[in-house]
């Protein structure tokens, strides 16, 4: 597939070599090559996805701006970048991004709440690594009223599919006539973990909402609404996960 052609001087600027005007001088002075051939003409357009541009013999790489969003994922959306069954995908909700975003981790189709989307692969990989123990907070509405012993079992860790869950924090937020709203904080991210934890103690989850991820609160974002992460948000995230580069 062909990419979008871009003027050579613009491409040099995008790669951080120089400003566009300065890049024109560099081209004119014969220091820039495309696919191994020196180019001194100003009008040349290149396709960065196929052509190799070098400055003083060094191949250039396009810098991609990192973007970070927090989405209030609605139910009914899948957290994959495409879906063979044609179900709606979360990335389709972010309408103002010029870059290809992907969700960080997963939320079940029937779970709603906080989901980070980014084009920063390094952050996405590290934030999900168990060693960083990034906290996720959920509000689970469960059937019935789990007694304290069962809640303590979940807090201490239970056997789930042959592997013990890590310690969790559980707080009863509200006891309703036939259901209980429980706040659950975990730092693992196993598939359908919260639902399975409650199933294991005999209390099915009726509704599951993630209210925070890695210290970022969902706050008042409406369902399907999203916001760009602020520099403050990024500080919170990056403090927990030291990366090589932030930009
Ligand atoms: N646990 C679940 O059961 N489902 C989710 O989507 C996230 C955590």
Domains of the chain are: 6-59 (3.10.290.10), 68-131+219-237 (3.30.70.580), 135-213 (3.30.70.1560)
Q: Which atom of ligand 1 is nearest to the CA of 197?
A: 3
**Does residue 137 line the site of ligand 1, with CB under 6 A?**
no
3-class SS shares of the chain: helix, strand, coil, % to 5: 25, 30, 45
User: Which residues lie closer than 8 Å to 96 by C-beta, 6 or more apart?
Assistant: none
**Does residue 197 line the site of ligand 1, with CB under 6 A?**
no
- Of residues 196 and 129, which shows the higher confidence score? 196
Question: What pLDDT is stored for residue 129 in this prediction?
Answer: 85
- In Å, the largest CA–CA distance within the chain is 79
Nearest to 93 by CA among 112, 74, 65: 74
Question: What pLDDT is stored for residue 245 in this prediction?
Answer: 47
State the catalytic residues: 108
pLDDT at 106 over 80: yes
Q: In the structure, what pLDDT confidence band is assigned to residue 127 with cuts at 50, 70 and 90?
A: confident
Hey, whose CA ends up nearest to atom 7 of ligand 1?
107
Q: Which atom of ligand 1 is nearest to the CA of 108?
A: 6
**Does residue 111 line the site of ligand 1, with CB under 6 A?**
yes
The angle that helices 148-156 and 193-200 make with each other, rounded to 10 degrees, is 140
Q: What is the mean pLDDT of residues 99-112?
A: 93
CA gap 123, 103 in Å, rounded: 11
Q: What is the mean pLDDT of residues 28-43?
A: 95
Q: What is the pLDDT of residues 206-224, one digit of tens each?
A: 999 999 999 999 999 999 9
Q: Is the pTM of this model over 0.85?
A: no
Average pLDDT, the chain: 91
């Amino acid at each position: 597939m062909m990419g979008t052609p871009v003027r050579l001087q613009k491409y040099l600027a995008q790669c951080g070599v120089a400003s566009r005007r300065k890049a024109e001088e560099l081209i004119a002075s014969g220091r820039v090559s495309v696919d191994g051939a020196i180019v001194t003409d100003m009008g040349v357009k290149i396709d960065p996805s196929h052509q190799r541009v070098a400055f003083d013999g060094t191949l250039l790489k396009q810098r991609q701006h990192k973007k970070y969003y927090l989405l209030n994922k609605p139910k009914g959306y899948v957290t994959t970048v495409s879906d063979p069954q044609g179900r709606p995908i979360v990335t389709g909700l972010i309408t103002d991004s010029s870059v290809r975003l992907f969700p960080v981790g997963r939320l079940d189709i029937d779970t709603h709440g906080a989901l980070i989307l980014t084009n920063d692969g390094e952050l996405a990989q590290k934030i999900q690594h168990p060693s960083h123990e990034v906290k996720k907070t959920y509000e689970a509405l469960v059937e019935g009223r789990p007694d304290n012993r069962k809640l303590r079992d979940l807090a201490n860790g239970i056997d789930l599919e042959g592997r013990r869950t890590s310690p969790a924090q559980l707080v009863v937020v509200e006891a309703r006539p036939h259901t209980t709203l429980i706040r659950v904080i975990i730092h693992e991210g196993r598939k359908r973990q919260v639902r399975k934890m409650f199933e294991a103690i005999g209390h099915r989850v009726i509704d599951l909402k993630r209210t925070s991820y890695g210290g970022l609160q969902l706050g008042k974002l409406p369902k399907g609404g999203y916001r760009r992460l602020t520099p403050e948000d990024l500080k919170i995230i990056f403090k927990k996960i030291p990366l090589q580069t932030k930009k």
